[in-house]
Every structure is written in C-alpha cells, then in structure tokens.
C-alpha cells in the first residue's frame, strides 16, 4: 500500500487534500501530516468546506487549511464599477514584472482601489486525496467539474461510497485511526519523520484511538506511537483559553450557610399507639 501511494504522489504535479465536512481531530491531523510529508516535493493544498475550530489549533499547519480550493486562474473583479467606462484591458511586462492595465474611456475615471478584488477560480490538481468520510455529502467540492480528470484516492479506516466518482483508488484499511495509516505513507525508508509531523500524527493517533482504548487498537498502534514519540512527537494539551467563554469555572463556589433547624427535628420520633373502643 505504501508503494502504491508513493507512486501516485510521484506521478502527480499538484495535489489536493480534501478533509470531510465537520472533520474529526484525527482526520485533520492526518490531512495536515500528509501535507507536511509531501509538500517538499509537490504543490499541495489542504481544503475543508467547514472552518477550523479552536480544538485544531494544536496541530502544526492548521493555518494552511483553506475553505476554497480555487487555485487555477486568477480573476480580477471590479465590483461597483460600470464596465461601460472601460475602453480596453491590456498588459505589458516591465523589468520582468507583468502589469495589467485597465484603460478607461476618455473622460471616465479608472476603478478606485476599493473596487478591485482578486480571486481564484477553477482547481488545478491531478491527484485528489480524500481523508476519512463516509459518503458524497462529506465532500461537496467533488461536484466541481475541474476535478473530472483527476485521480481520486481515499484514505480512511472504512470504505467510502461515492456515486459521482467512477474510478476510486481506495487505500482504506482497518486501523485504530487514520493517523496510524498515514504514518506508513510518510515514514521515510531510513530515519524518522520530522518532530512537527510526528506531533500531529501522535495527537491524531491519541484522539482517533480514544486514548488507546478503542476496539481497533492493536500491537501495531503502540509500535507507531512509540516510533512517533522517538521522533519527537508530543501530546500538546488543550489550553484553557481555547475553551469558549463560560465552559471553564472562574470563581470558587462555597457552600452557603445552612438554616437553623427546629430542635424537634433532632428528637426521636413520637410513637402513637392505637386504643380499642368498646
């Protein structure tokens, strides 16, 4: 399986790693680890349709996750500017720098800075790696027609069902976590992984295996954990300030004063005996 993954990466020019909608910690850790492991060789983009929450801030590279995968064509928009004022659009190259020139019609003013917006459209990727997920709704970006010619690979601990993908390369297999699987993909033939990568995978392994208590935990799980710790991996604790306001108590609660109880309450109960009536 490792050889198959290495071959796919070697043949690709640009790689898109897609995290599922509302991902788990293990899934984000796995996707970022793949990105760190292959970014030196290829152009890699990590995308997720859901925003990254504070729980993922412990992971190295989480700031690189984007909600938009467009990276193929740069588009310059002029919102609020009447296109009828434009006479022509041209470009020239001066000192190895390309300039795009918007020439307004005589008597018209050019767009102001506030009316210039840059954006990307289209996806340039010939290899798409899906992390985890169970079905099509977890990966809405697959509906983008720019991905029609790309190879689609799935990495997870369970098989996935995708109706829109005719040819799916599945690298899924049973494991305690996706991080356990990804470790085999990024581990070099000689030496160990980098500390940042090891930290991401170790935390993903820890969370995905439910603190090594999950039913899929095996001897292999502990071997991977041991090698990651030897490579410098650490479990980074969640900072208190990462919790939302009100989630952590900030004041000491002391029991209030007890009201004085009547003395009769502490005495032995009175016993009443019935009497016979003749």
Please, which residues have CB within 8 angstroms of residue 22's CB and are 6 or more apart in sequence? 50
pLDDT of residue 171: 96
Secondary structure letter of residue 255 according to DSSP: P
pLDDT of residue 191: 85
- Read off the pLDDT of residues 62-82 as tens digits, 9 standing for 90 and up: 999 988 776 667 788 889 889
The pLDDT confidence band at residue 132, using thresholds 50, 70 and 90, is very high
What's the CA gap between 271 and 278, in Å, rounded? Answer: 23
What's the CA gap between 188 and 74, in Å, rounded? Answer: 36
Residue 102: its H or E element: strand 97-104
The mean pLDDT of 231-259, rounded to a whole number, is 71
Asked whether the predicted pLDDT for residue 6 surpasses 70, the reply is: yes
Residue 184: its H or E element: helix 178-186
User: Which of 245, 238, 244, 247 lies closest to 57 in space, CA to CA?
Assistant: 238
pLDDT of residue 70: 64
All structural domains of the chain: 2-71+122-230 (3.90.1640.10), 73-121 (no CATH)
Angle formed at CA 265 by CA 264 and CA 269, multiple of 5 degrees: 85
Token output for 142: 């697959």
Please, which residues have CB within 8 angstroms of residue 87's CB and are 6 or more apart in sequence? 103, 104, 105, 106
- Read off the pLDDT of residues 76-113 as tens digits, 9 standing for 90 and up: 888 988 999 899 998 888 888 898 888 999 998 888 98
The pair phi, psi for residue 101, each rounded to 5°, is -115, 125
pLDDT of residue 41: 72
Token output for 29: 């850790």
């Amino acid at each position: 399986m490792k050889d198959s993954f290495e071959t796919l990466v070697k043949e690709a020019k640009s790689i898109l790693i897609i995290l599922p909608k509302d991902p788990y910690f293990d899934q984000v850790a796995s996707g970022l680890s793949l990105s760190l492991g292959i970014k030196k060789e290829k152009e890699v983009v990590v995308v997720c349709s859901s925003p990254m929450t504070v729980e993922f801030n412990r992971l190295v590279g989480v700031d690189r996750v984007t909600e938009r995968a467009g990276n193929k064509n740069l588009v310059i928009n002029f919102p609020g500017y009447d296109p009828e004022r434009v006479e022509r659009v041209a470009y020239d190259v001066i000192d190895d720098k390309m300039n795009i020139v918007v020439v307004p019609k005589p008597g018209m003013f050019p767009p102001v800075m506030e009316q210039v917006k840059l954006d990307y459209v289209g996806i340039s990727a010939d290899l798409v790696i899906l992390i985890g997920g169970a079905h099509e709704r977890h990966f809405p970006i697959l509906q983008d027609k720019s991905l029609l010619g790309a190879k689609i690979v799935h990495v997870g601990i369970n098989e996935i069902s995708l109706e829109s993908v005719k040819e799916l390369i599945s690298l899924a297999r049973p494991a305690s976590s996706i991080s356990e699987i990804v470790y085999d993909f990024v581990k070099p033939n000689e030496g160990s992984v980098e500390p940042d990568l090891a930290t991401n995978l170790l935390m993903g392994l820890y969370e995905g295996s439910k603190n090594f208590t999950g039913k899929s935990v095996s001897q292999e799980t502990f071997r991977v954990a041991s090698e990651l710790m030897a490579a410098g991996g650490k479990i980074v604790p969640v900072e208190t300030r990462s919790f939302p306001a009100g989630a952590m108590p900030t004041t000491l609660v002391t029991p209030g004063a007890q009201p004085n109880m009547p003395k009769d309450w502490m005495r032995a109960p009175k016993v009443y005996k019935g009497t016979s009536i003749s």
